Amino acid sequence: MKQALLMVSFGTSYPETLEKNIAALEREAAAAFPGWTVRRAFTSGMILRKLARRDGTAPDDVPAALTRLAEEGYEAVAVQPTHILNGDEYDKLCAQAAPFAPRFARFAVGAPLLTTLEDYRATADALMASLPAPAEGEALVFMGHGTGHAANPAYCQLEYLLHDLGWKGAFFGTVEGYPTLDEVLRRLQERRPVERVTLHPFMLVAGDHASNDMAGEEPDSWKSRLEGAGYSVSCVLKGLGEYPALRAIFLAHARAAMETMFTD
Ligand code: CO
């Protein structure tokens, strides 16, 4: 049986972070699942158009990737998102993938990073294993993307869990959802005496949001605003895909999707 794993990312136009995060995850999947062809698709039309304009070529979107696999005679196809939330991009992926199910003998779509409670525990454990614990006087602030979708509270649940596990110096903010940096600034004042802040993107890649909104030199970047509030700030420009423990969760989700295809 011809088998393929389609790894679906939002996408990025930053080649270096593409390589270190998305490509690293795809390479690891290819090594973990011998006998499965690993393919790439992006869900962001904005990124795909930008890449096509700039490079003259771009990865497939989901319908194009699945059409290609069907035409090449693949019979078992697992689709694994590298998305963080069960949000808009994942809904779009599911809606685009559903019509293709009848074209394959076996077909399954895996879950984003933060789906079940076990996923939150695994993600918290992976962060705690991958990063130094916040020291006395230090806070770790994670920049999530955030969304108007009902999945947005995922960031608060993960922060709450990290606090329960002992990382009371870890805080989440978002670019486009709740909490914003305003709430993070207030919590830094309320919760503990903090002098130093380490900023991390809580996104698969360290692309435009991490480079500009988080770590940029403009006065409204998180770095500038935290410095303006008196904190000494350092930025870690690494996507979640650069941490083996986080990649392992995505691969576990891919494996679970493959297993559902073969248990009936
Ligand atoms: Co964005």
Cα-to-centroid distance, 10 and ligand 1 (Å): 10
DSSP 26-77: HHHHHHHSTTEEEEEEE--HHHHHHHHHHHS---B-HHHHHHHHHHTT--EE
- Which residues on neighbouring strands pair with residue 145, listed in sequence order? none
Smallest CA-to-CA distance from 175 within 195, 197, 196, 155 is with 155
pLDDT in tens, 202-253: 999 999 999 999 999 999 999 999 999 999 999 999 999 999 999 999 999 9
Q: Considering the chain, what percentage of its residues have pLDDT values greater than 90?
A: 98
Distance 175 CA to ligand 1 centre (A): 8
Spacing, Cα 206 to ligand 1 middle (Å)? 12
Residue 264 has pLDDT above 70, yes or no: no
Q: Is the dihedral of CA 57, 74, 37, 255 positive or negative?
A: positive
> Is 262 a residue whose pLDDT tops 90?
no
- The confidence score (pLDDT) of residue 191 equals 77
Distance 147 CA to ligand 1 centre (A): 9
Contacts of 203 (CB under 8 A, 6+ apart): 84, 143, 144, 145, 209, 210, 239, 240
- Mean pLDDT along residues 151-156: 98
At 194, list the tokens: 């903090």
Contact between residue 221 and residue 212 where contact means Cβ atoms under 8 Å apart:
yes
* Annotated active-site residue in 83, 145, 200, 209: 145
Residue 263's pLDDT band, with cuts at 50, 70 and 90, is confident
192 pLDDT more than 80: no
How remote is the CA of residue 260 from the centroid of ligand 1, in Å?
32
Checking if the pLDDT of 80 tops 90, the result is yes
pLDDT over 70 percentage in the chain: 100
In three-state secondary structure terms, 252 is helix
* Catalytic-residue membership of 149: no
What is the CA 156 to chain-centroid distance, rounded?
16
Cα 203–Cα 18–Cα 14 angle in degrees, nearest 5 = 90
- Mean pLDDT along residues 24-31: 98
Does residue 158 surpass a pLDDT of 70?
yes
**Residue appearing with tokens 């830094």:** 188
> What is the Å distance from ligand 1's center to 209 Cα?
7
CA of 143 to the centre of ligand 1 (A): 11
Please tell me the distance from the alpha carbon of residue 157 to that of residue 46, in angstroms, as a whole number.
29
User: pTM score, two decimals?
Assistant: 0.97
pLDDT in tens, 6-18: 999 999 999 999 9
Q: What is the pLDDT of residues 30-57, one digit of tens each?
A: 999 999 999 999 999 999 999 999 999 9
Closest to 88 measured CA to CA, from 30, 150, 153: 150
CA of 47 to the centre of ligand 1 (A): 11
List the beta bridge partners of residue 9. Answer: 42
Confidence (pLDDT) at 222: 98
3-state DSSP of 120-140: HHHHHHHHHHHCCCCCCCEEE
pLDDT score, position 41: 98
Q: How far apart are CA 41 and CA 236, in angstroms?
A: 27
